[in-house]
Structure 1
Amino acid sequence: MTDAAFPAPSDLPVDGPELASLIAAKLCHDFISPSGAIMSGLDLLNDPTAQDMRDDALSLITDSAKKMVALVQFCRVAFGAATTAERFTAGELTALVDGVTAGGRATLAWDLGSGDFGKPQSRALVNLAYLIVAALPMGGAATVSVRHEGAQLVIEGLAEGARARLKPEAVTGLSGQRLTEGLAGQWIQPYWLWLTADQHGGTLSVEAVEGRVSMTVRMPS
Structure 2
Amino acid sequence: MPGSSSWAMGSLLCRGRPDRRGGRMSAPDLAALVGSRLCHDLVSPLGAIGNGVELLKMLHEGSDELALIEQAVAAAQARVRLYRLAFGAAHPGQEAKAEDLAEALQALSLNGRLTVECGLRGPLPRVQAKRLALAALCLETALPWGGTAQVTGQRVSARAARMKLDPDLWEALATGTPPEAPAAATVHFALLAEGGAVEVTRDDGGIAISL
Q: TM-score, normalised by structure 1?
A: 0.62
- Is 2:27 the counterpart of 1:16? yes
1:47 aligned residue: none
1:135 aligned residue: 142
Cα distance in 1, alignment partners of residues 31 and 89 from structure 2 = 13
CA displacement at 1:107 relative to structure 2? 1.7
2:106 aligned residue: 98
Q: Is the 8 A contact 2:108 2:114 kept in 1?
A: no
Q: 3-state SS of the aligned residue for 1:60?
A: helix
Cα distance in 2, alignment partners of residues 72 and 59 from structure 1 = 20
Q: Is the 8 A contact 1:76 1:82 kept in 2?
A: no
Cα distance in 1, alignment partners of residues 96 and 110 from structure 2 = 21
2:20 aligned residue: none
How is 1:1-221 mapped onto 2 (pairs within 5 angstroms)?
2-7=5-10, 16=27, 20=31, 55-81=63-89, 86-112=94-120, 114-146=121-153, 155-175=154-174, 176-179=176-179, 184-196=183-195, 198=196, 203-217=197-211
Q: 3-state SS of the aligned residue for 1:194?
A: helix
Amino acid at match of 2:198: L
CA displacement at 1:185 relative to structure 2? 2.6
CA displacement at 1:70 relative to structure 2? 1.4
Deviations 1:6-60, CA, capped at 9 Å, x for gaps: 237xxxxxx827x949x97xx9xxx9xxx9xx9xxxxxxxxxxxxxxx9333222
Q: 3-state SS of the aligned residue for 2:112?
A: coil
Amino acid at match of 1:206: V
CA displacement at 1:96 relative to structure 2? 0.5
1:125–1:102 CA distance, 2 compared to 1 (3 A): same
1:101–1:169 CA distance, 2 compared to 1 (3 A): farther
Count of residue correspondences? 171
Q: Is the 8 A contact 1:164 1:210 kept in 2?
A: no
Q: Greater RCO between the two (CA within 8 Å, min separation 6)?
A: 2
Amino acid at match of 1:214: A
Q: TM-score, normalised by structure 2?
A: 0.65
Cα distance in 1, alignment partners of residues 68 and 109 from structure 2 = 18
Cα distance in 2, alignment partners of residues 174 and 137 from structure 1 = 19
Q: Is the 8 A contact 1:128 1:193 kept in 2?
A: yes
Structure 1 gaps of 5+ residues are 9-14, 39-53, 147-154
Identical-residue share of aligned pairs (%): 27
Q: 3-state SS of the aligned residue for 1:103?
A: coil
Measured on the aligned residues, the alpha-carbon RMSD in Å equals 3.6
